């Protein structure tokens, strides 16, 4: 397999699948450019190595063909500033203009293609469409981890047209290396912390982790399904009644596999789902009616922090409580702080999945853990043990 570090881009046109799906304001201004910034090292490697770069991405969810508010044209100015060079733009990601512009690229030049999802062929994984994109370039680089779980034309199918000249970009490489550290190459003790609203969306990850982790901490809204399944009283807390059996099976499987499963013993209760609700701490399995648990309690925080701080590998996915409200963010913040402490003591810590990433950013601790994955759905599927089409397309 070729790597971007070793590859010689001199005189080559590289088509790079980037993830420029950035949030835009009503006036089409970029409100968070971290995804664009993250792609810069890969683009630089190509152009500084004497190649030219053709960038392709999706932006938003256009329904029927082109829509100005989803045009990648809005990103051109900012990208040009970040790269310190002029950028060419093709109004259509395939077709004559894109071909002419790509044919005329000189070493060091960058061409940005219009939104791939203006064509429904993109998400359908259409082969003829993928071939048109492939014909624009000599080399294919996939640097969009966030869409690696989709067999789209630009993320997977296109790779067929580049027998050997295909590789991961730097973002993909570091995502895979970091996630492999919590999936395969793990140092013990290994603790996985799973939170968030629902058990139903995390079952497969939990199942996969039961074969890997030494300790599994459960928090967030999903803990109540476990507490109820174990015979506890959960008052008005959220619960997936259809998943009580699943929770029991997970508890049994953890026992059988020797994984220590930790469910909060105390919780922070509120008398309504509101920032200004009355609150009190209570035993997690004796919650009075009319009250609902919105965060883990102080004893659980102390116990979980101690486990995390003595671990050497830490994976965190999903908040411990309703961290969006300051009153119920304490548990999630404590977990983040314990991860930071463990990282300072040499542990490898990975935060992944939309809401835990939002939480660690909110606390300003994102630079103090080993790795924050941007993967979202792709990360979750990878952690479930699935083969991601965007990854196997490069590896095979």
| Catalytic residue list | 35, 198, 354, 377
**Per-residue binder mask for ligand AMP (CB under 6 A), 96-135, x = binder:** ----------------------------------------
**CA dihedral (127, 132, 136, 138) positive or negative:** positive
**CA dihedral (329, 310, 193, 286) positive or negative:** negative
Cβ-based neighbours of 156, under 8 Å, separated by 6 or more:
125, 150, 389, 390, 393
CB of 319 to ligand AMP, least distance (A): 5
Q: Of 116-124, 167-175, 195-203, 386-394, which part binds ligand AMP (CB under 6 A)?
A: 195-203
Q: How far is CA 23 from CA 32, 58, 81, 358, in A?
A: 6, 12, 18, 14
Residue 205 interacts with ligand AMP (CB under 6 A): yes or no? no
Residue 197 interacts with ligand AMP (CB under 6 A): yes or no? yes
CB of 59 to ligand AMP, least distance (A): 23
One residue of 51, 62, 125, 220 binding ligand AMP per CB under 6 A:
220
Cβ-based neighbours of 10, under 8 Å, separated by 6 or more:
49, 50, 51, 107
One residue of 56, 308, 322, 365 binding ligand AMP per CB under 6 A:
322
Residue 318 interacts with ligand AMP (CB under 6 A): yes or no? yes
CB of 21 to ligand AMP, least distance (A): 18
Residue 238 interacts with ligand AMP (CB under 6 A): yes or no? yes
Q: Output the residue with the shortest Cβ distance to ligand AMP.
A: 196
One residue of 2, 44, 78, 198 binding ligand AMP per CB under 6 A:
198
3-state secondary structure at position 64: coil
CB of 185 to ligand AMP, least distance (A): 26
**Strand 13-17 relative to strand 139-142: parallel, antiparallel, unpaired?**
parallel
The Cα 178–Cα 185 span in angstroms is 10
Residue 294 interacts with ligand AMP (CB under 6 A): yes or no? yes
Site for ligand AMP in 162-191 (CB under 6 A): none
Distance in angstroms between the alpha carbons of the first and the last residue of the chain: 9
The Cα 254–Cα 230 span in angstroms is 14
**Per-residue binder mask for ligand AMP (CB under 6 A), 347-386, x = binder:** --------x-------------------------------
* Distance of alpha carbon 211 from the chain centroid: 22
The Cα 27–Cα 182 span in angstroms is 41
Q: Report the chain's C-alpha Rg in angstroms.
A: 23
The Cα 210–Cα 212 span in angstroms is 5
| Total site size for ligand AMP, rule CB under 6 A | 15
CB of 41 to ligand AMP, least distance (A): 29
Residue 260 has what DSSP assignment? E
Q: Of 38-46, 55-63, 116-124, 316-324, which part binds ligand AMP (CB under 6 A)?
A: 316-324
The Cα 272–Cα 232 span in angstroms is 20
**Per-residue binder mask for ligand AMP (CB under 6 A), 24-63, x = binder:** ----------------------------------------
Q: Which residues bind ligand AMP (CB under 6 A)?
A: 196-198, 201, 220-221, 238, 293-294, 318-319, 321-322, 324, 355
């Amino acid at each position: 397999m070729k790597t971007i570090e070793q590859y010689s881009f001199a005189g080559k046109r590289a088509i790079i699948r980037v993830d420029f799906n950035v949030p835009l304001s009503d006036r089409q201004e970029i409100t968070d450019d971290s995804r664009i910034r993250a792609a810069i090292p890969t683009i630089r490697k190509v152009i500084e190595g004497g190649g030219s770069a053709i960038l392709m991405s999706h932006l938003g969810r256009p329904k029927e063909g082109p829509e100005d508010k989803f045009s990648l044209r809005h990103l051109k100015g900012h990208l040009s500033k970040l790269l310190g060079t002029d950028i060419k733009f093709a109004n259509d990601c395939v077709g004559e203009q894109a071909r002419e512009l790509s044919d005329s690229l000189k070493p060091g030049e960058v061409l940005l293609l219009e939104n791939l999802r203006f064509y429904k062929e993109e998400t359908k994984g259409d082969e003829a469409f993928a071939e048109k994109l492939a014909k624009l370039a000599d080399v294919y680089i996939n640097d969009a981890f966030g869409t690696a779980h989709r067999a789209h034309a630009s993320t997977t199918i296109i790779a067929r047209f580049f027998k050997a000249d295909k590789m991961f970009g730097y973002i993909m490489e570091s995502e895979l290396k970091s996630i492999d550290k919590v999936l395969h190459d793990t140092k013990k003790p290994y603790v996985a912390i799973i939170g968030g609203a629902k058990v139903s969306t995390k079952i497969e990850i939990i199942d996969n982790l039961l074969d890997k982790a030494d300790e599994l901490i459960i928090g967030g809204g999903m803990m109540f399904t476990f507490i109820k399944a174990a015979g506890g009283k959960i008052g008005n807390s959220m619960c997936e009644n259809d998943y009580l059996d699943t929770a029991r099976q997970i508890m049994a499987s953890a026992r059988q596999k020797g994984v220590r499963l930790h469910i909060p013993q105390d919780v922070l209760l509120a008398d309504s789902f509101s920032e200004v609700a009355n609150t009190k701490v209570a035993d997690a399995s004796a919650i009075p009616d009319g009250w609902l648990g919105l965060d883990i309690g102080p004893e659980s925080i102390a116990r979980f922090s101690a486990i995390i701080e003595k671990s050497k590998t830490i994976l965190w996915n999903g908040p411990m409580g309703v961290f969006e409200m300051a009153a119920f963010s304490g548990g999630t913040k404590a977990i983040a702080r314990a991860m930071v402490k463990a990282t300072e003591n040499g542990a490898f810590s990975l935060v992944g999945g939309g809401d835990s990433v939002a939480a660690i950013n909110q606390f300003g601790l994102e630079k103090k853990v080993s790795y924050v994955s941007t993967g979202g759905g792709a990360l979750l599927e990878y952690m479930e043990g699935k083969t991601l089409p965007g990854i196997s397309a490069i590896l095979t």
